[in-house]
Amino acid sequence: MAEKPRPLVAGNWKMNGLTADLAEIAVIRDALAGALGGPDIIICPPATLIAAAAQLCAGSFIAIGGQDCHPERRGAYTGDIAAEMLRDAGASYVIVGHSERRRDHGESDVLVSAKAEAALRAGLKVILCVGETEAERAAGHAPDVVARQLEGSLPSAPHGDSLVVAYEPVWAIGTGVTPTPNDVAEMHGFLRQRLAARLPESSDVRLLYGGSVKADNAAELLHLPAVDGALIGGASLKAAEFLAIAATYR
């Protein structure tokens, strides 16, 4: 049996954070200084803070990630950011396919896959998000939806340690509602099977759960056998809450 991957706790700040909020990252950095045996930590602040956050966390246990990237290296794409730009600013990860990008910007699986390819091209690791809506789950289509998103959004030939998959049921993101532990275990087990059928190094791919993860439910969700960590939204904005979730693995 393959050894379980090292846990990963990632914070997605979304469109939140000004320069003053870098203080929260500094608190996390200082709290984890010298800590051994805990999870890997990633913070994904808005693009305006990536360079400063990367400088702040240089030499620490914290990696910095972007929240999105464009498939092209450069060009006339006003307002977009290339994966190479994220890398240049100090990021080592990037989120692609988040449900808010799929919903608000109409991103298709094909586009998400192209963004994942761009990230790997730039030397970034990919956090690929998949998840069903409430209507899709109620209709019994959740596995089909998640399988379609996974298959359609994967880059062509990722190495196992260059890819993280985050299952984020859309109906649980920012709502305070979470699936039951059994629901999460079933979907993560399903995702693990689909990855095994597609990737030879699938055992190295970490499967994160995301969707209303908080300190008071983290232990129940994150220690399920098929769950390798969490992608956290609102609870990552405050160091104390984020650290309490990360402490689940200590």
pLDDT tens-digit profile of 4-26? 889 999 999 999 999 999 999 99
pLDDT band at residue 2 using 50, 70 and 90 as cut-offs: low
Does residue 142 sit within a domain?
yes
* Annotated catalytic residue 223: no
pTM: 0.96
What integer pLDDT is reported at residue 203 of this predicted model?
86
For a pLDDT cut of 90, what percent of the chain falls above it? 86
24, 117, 168, 241: the active-site residue: 168
When pLDDT is averaged across residues 185-190 and rounded to a whole number, the result is 96
Q: Is residue 156 part of a domain?
A: yes
Residue 57 lies in a domain: no
Whichever domain contains 212, its CATH number is: 3.20.20.70
Q: Is residue 47 part of a domain?
A: no
Q: What pLDDT sits at residue 1? A: 47
Q: Which helix (H) or strand (E) holds 151?
A: helix 142-153
**Catalytic residue (choose from 98, 100, 117, 241):** 98
Give the domain extent around 200.
8-16+66-238
- The per-residue pLDDT for 221 is 95
Residues, the chain, total? 250
Which residues, other chains included, contact 27 with Cβ-Cβ below 8 Å and sequence gap of 6+? 239, 240, 243
Phi and psi at 130, nearest 5°, equal -140, 155
pLDDT tens per residue, range 57-70 = 999 999 999 999 99
Is residue 105 domain-resident?
Answer: yes
98 is catalytic: yes
Residue 180 lies in a domain: yes
Domain assignment present for residue 84? The answer is yes
In a domain, 140, yes or no: yes
* Domain total in the chain: 1
